[in-house]
Amino acid sequence: MRYEAPSTLDQAVALLVNEPGEARVLAGGTDLLVQMRTDLIEPVLLVDIKGIAELRQIREEAGGFRIGAAVSGAELKEHPKLKAIWAGVVEAANLIGSTQIQGRATMGGNLCNGSPAADSVPALIAAGAKATVVGRKGRRDVPVEDIMLAPRKLSLAKGEVVASFLLPAKPARTGDAYLRFIPRTEMDIAVVGCGVCLSLDRKGTCSAARVSLGAVAARPLLVAPAAAALIGSKVDAAALAKLDAAARAACQPIDDKRGTKEYRIKVAGVLARRAAQIALERARTS
């Protein structure tokens, strides 16, 4: 196996494109190395992207934030402005693993590992984040919800790398939140994850919303009917009941040792309501 650590994105793409065998991007390695150790995958080339400066930066852009795909969870948490503005996204990324994992794990790896239960993904989707993907044909911006197609299947072409995420400018009176449910108190995979972002008008009526669910289908979902349940309401009990029903209706979960289908569907509704209430509080005070 070959290990390369390029210093530019162009070099990384060229290495990945020109390798005829299985080539993988190495970010934090917290999924990749586990899969290699357990012989799930045997890449012939690893392209470490942590030495590429533009992938390690968090910077303000177009009123929002551009976050490099190789920024770790710990680095996200240490950015007070980002944390204050996109609290749900930073909280979601910081639910990943332990302190040790936080020092390595990236949102790029969380997305590109292709797990429907990845914690940061529903939060990014709810926030309306776009992934900037770079490949041999250049750059393209892709809504985060369009990157993962099914477990371990992405919409990326050979050699394409997720370079960064663009979190948009956050409108006034907007709040986001992410909640997950896990069987243990820490270090477990979500039974359900839910991200909500909502905006209020001057009278406190919800004027825009996005709701995303993880771990309840083959890919993280953007649930438009759940958002519609909130828009035009005061996010009161009636709207939350509609949100709960719409979130449950969107679920197509599996049965496994962490929860039955019925359990996951019920939890999805509960988490959607709770995440919406946190997002509402944040929108009111933002």
Ligand X SMILES: Cc1cc2nc3c(=O)[nH]c(=O)nc-3n(C[C@H](O)[C@H](O)[C@H](O)COP(=O)(O)OP(=O)(O)OC[C@H]3O[C@@H](n4cnc5c(N)ncnc54)[C@H](O)[C@@H]3O)c2cc1C
Footprint on this chain of ligand X (rule: CB under 6 A): 24-32, 34, 49, 69, 95-97, 101, 104-106, 108-110, 112-113, 118-119, 161-162, 187
Nearer to ligand X, 152 or 266 (CB): 152
Nearer to ligand X, 49 or 206 (CB): 49
Rounded distance between C-alpha atoms, residue 211 and residue 3, angstroms: 39
Nearer to ligand X, 113 or 286 (CB): 113
Nearer to ligand X, 112 or 272 (CB): 112
Task: Tell me how far, at minimum, the Cβ of 97 lies from ligand X, in Å.
Answer: 3
Nearer to ligand X, 124 or 247 (CB): 124
Task: Tell me how far, at minimum, the Cβ of 67 lies from ligand X, in Å.
Answer: 11
Nearer to ligand X, 23 or 209 (CB): 23
Closest CA to 277 of 248, 229, 236: 236
Task: Tell me how far, at minimum, the Cβ of 210 lies from ligand X, in Å.
Answer: 19
Task: Tell me how far, at minimum, the Cβ of 203 lies from ligand X, in Å.
Answer: 37
Rounded distance between C-alpha atoms, residue 167 and residue 66, angstroms: 6
Task: Tell me how far, at minimum, the Cβ of 16 lies from ligand X, in Å.
Answer: 9
Rounded distance between C-alpha atoms, residue 244 and residue 277, angstroms: 12
Task: Tell me how far, at minimum, the Cβ of 55 lies from ligand X, in Å.
Answer: 7
Q: Which residue has the CB atom at the shortest distance from ligand X? A: 109
Nearer to ligand X, 191 or 250 (CB): 191
Nearer to ligand X, 31 or 244 (CB): 31
Closest CA to 139 of 175, 119, 163, 107: 163
Task: Tell me how far, at minimum, the Cβ of 251 lies from ligand X, in Å.
Answer: 18
Task: Tell me how far, at minimum, the Cβ of 162 lies from ligand X, in Å.
Answer: 4
> Which amino acid appears at position 241 of this protein?
A
Please give, one letter per residue, the 3-state secondary structure of the chain.
Answer: CEEECCCCHHHHHHHHHHCCCCEEEECCCCCHHHHHHCCCCCCCEEEECCCCHHHHCEEEECCEEEEECCCEHHHHHCCHHHHHHCHHHHHHHCCCCCHHHHCCCEHHHHHHCCCCCCCHHHHHHHCCCEEEEEECCEEEEEEHHHCEEECCEECCCCCCEEEEEEECCCCCCEEEEEEEECCCCCCCCCCEEEEEEEEECCCCCEEEEEEEEECCCCCCEECHHHHHHHCCCCCCHHHHHHHHHHHHHHCCCCCECCECHHHHHHHHHHHHHHHHHHHHHHHHHC
